[in-house]
Amino acid sequence: MMKNRVTAMLGIRYPIVQGGMQWVGRAELVAAVSNAGALGVLTGLTQPTPEKLREEIERTRSMTDKPFGVNLTILPAVNPPPYDRYMDAIIDSGVKIVETAGNNPKQFVARLKANGIISIHKCVNVRHAISAEKSGVDIVSIDGFECAGHPGEDDVPGLVLIPIAAKRLRIPILASGGIGDGRGFAAALVLGAEGINMGTRFCATVEAPIHDNIKRALVNANECDTRLMFRTLHNTARVFKNAISEQVFAMEQRPGGVAFEEIRPLVIGARGREALSIGDVDGGVITAGQVIGLIDDIPTCAVLIERIVAECRERLRASMQDFE
Ligand SMILES: Cc1cc2nc3c(=O)[nH]c(=O)nc-3n(C[C@H](O)[C@H](O)[C@H](O)COP(=O)(O)O)c2cc1C
């Protein structure tokens, strides 16, 4: 048991959150993380419709009686998914924790509060963290440049980002990006975070609902095996280095760059989903962060979480002794 504002607000044993992960954040993983004393988070848009999300929430409930959250990634898009209807599904289902990401959550915060829902907003810079706090979110999760997915365009790593955010915000912050073990957890706490958010590390667990080939590829990779795609489109994404991301990257380096329409067939979500499901490591975009360099095994979520907590305690104690 660890006690701080984050464990109290979220009703969990350890201040560890499994961030929303497209195609991966399904009931099996979420329930396993929550049962292990951390916070599992379902990925709303992994479900094709709001109705399917309601079913997935119920499926998760049948697998855990512990708190869990739902992520809604509200990226601006030409043809966005029906975000409002997904949010209706989350609220009507009685979910008590929501993680937003991708855009300012202010359109939803009042409704979340009115329904007694704790909101975690994930962002990638201090500006957005401050504006999320002003909008009334309860916890900010802040992703350093190391992270999987969208690190933004400022390229500030966690070692700088987290302490600045901790100084500037009054609400609790979760350090996210590049954390995969107890050393990272301890470092995050020392930097001023009150918990951690992890993505990639949870993909290499027994319960992650993806093919073993993908999990093994993450274990075998090192910290240089990610690629930043879409830099030229100002929508940077950190992903696993594979045939698809290398091809996209090469197209972006051409004189004059590349239009999104040209790369769309390579990067469409359905292709990534299929790659994860059949274990085709080169079949589509696979989101992963630099922390793959730290991943050496495929434990259950319970083993992983207990190990991270034990190592964090040991590191904090050992570093105190060094200074006595
Ligand atoms: C496979 C995968 C899919 C992801 N999909 C989403 C997503 O749909 N929405 C979101 O807000 N973040 C997404 N993320 C980012 C994570 O929630 C988290 O912020 C990030 O993984 C933290 O960095 P780390 O991987 O170094 O732990 C994804 C991450 C991974 C690994």
The model's pLDDT over 228-246, given as tens digits with 9 standing for 90+, comes to: 999 999 999 999 999 999 9
144 lines ligand 1 (CB under 6 A): no
pLDDT for position 210:
98
Task: Assign 312 a pLDDT band (cuts: 50, 70, 90).
Answer: very high
Q: What is the CA 175 to chain-centroid distance, rounded?
A: 11
Q: Mean pLDDT in the chain? A: 97
The secondary structure of 13-72 as a DSSP string is SSSEEE---TTT-SHHHHHHHHHTTSBEEEEGGGSSSHHHHHHHHHHHHTT-SS-EEEEE
**pLDDT digits 0-9 by tens, 16-37:** 999 999 999 999 999 999 999 9
239 lines ligand 1 (CB under 6 A): no
Residue 323 has pLDDT above 90, yes or no: no
Give the mean model confidence (pLDDT) for residues 47-55.
Answer: 98
Residue 265 has pLDDT above 90, yes or no: yes
pLDDT for position 97:
98
Superfamily of domain 5-210+295-322: Aldolase class I (3.20.20.70)
Measured distance CA(12)–CA(273) in Å, rounded: 30
147 lines ligand 1 (CB under 6 A): yes
205 lines ligand 1 (CB under 6 A): no
Measured distance CA(202)–CA(23) in Å, rounded: 13
Task: Assign 177 a pLDDT band (cuts: 50, 70, 90).
Answer: very high
Give the mean model confidence (pLDDT) for residues 266-272.
Answer: 97
Q: Tell me the Ramachandran region of residue 79: left when phi exceeds 0, alpha when psi lies from -120 to 50, beta otherwise.
A: beta
Which of 200, 242, 295 to mutate to test ligand 1, by most ligand atoms within 8 A of the CB atom?
Answer: 200
Residue 191 has pLDDT above 90, yes or no: yes
pLDDT for position 324:
73
Residue 280 has pLDDT above 90, yes or no: yes
Residue 300 has pLDDT above 90, yes or no: yes
pLDDT for position 321:
86
Task: Assign 115 a pLDDT band (cuts: 50, 70, 90).
Answer: very high
Domain ranges of the chain: 5-210+295-322, 226-287
Ligand 1 centroid to Cα of residue 145, in Å, is: 12
With a pLDDT cut of 90, the percent of the chain lying above it is 97
pLDDT for position 173:
98
Ligand 1 centroid to Cα of residue 148, in Å, is: 5
List the residue whose alpha carbon is closest to atom 2 of ligand 1: 21
71 lines ligand 1 (CB under 6 A): yes
Instruction: Identify the burial level of 82 via C-beta atoms within 10 angstroms of its C-beta, where 0-12 means exposed, 13-18 middle and 19 or more buried.
Output: exposed
7 lines ligand 1 (CB under 6 A): no
pLDDT for position 322:
80
Task: Assign 192 a pLDDT band (cuts: 50, 70, 90).
Answer: very high
List the residue whose alpha carbon is closest to atom 4 of ligand 1: 21
Ligand 1 centroid to Cα of residue 200, in Å, is: 7
Size of the chain in residues: 324
Query: 40-43 and 16-18 as β-strands: parallel, antiparallel, unpaired?
Result: unpaired
CB atoms within 10 A of CB 86: 21
Residue 227 has pLDDT above 80, yes or no: yes
Measured distance CA(210)–CA(239) in Å, rounded: 16
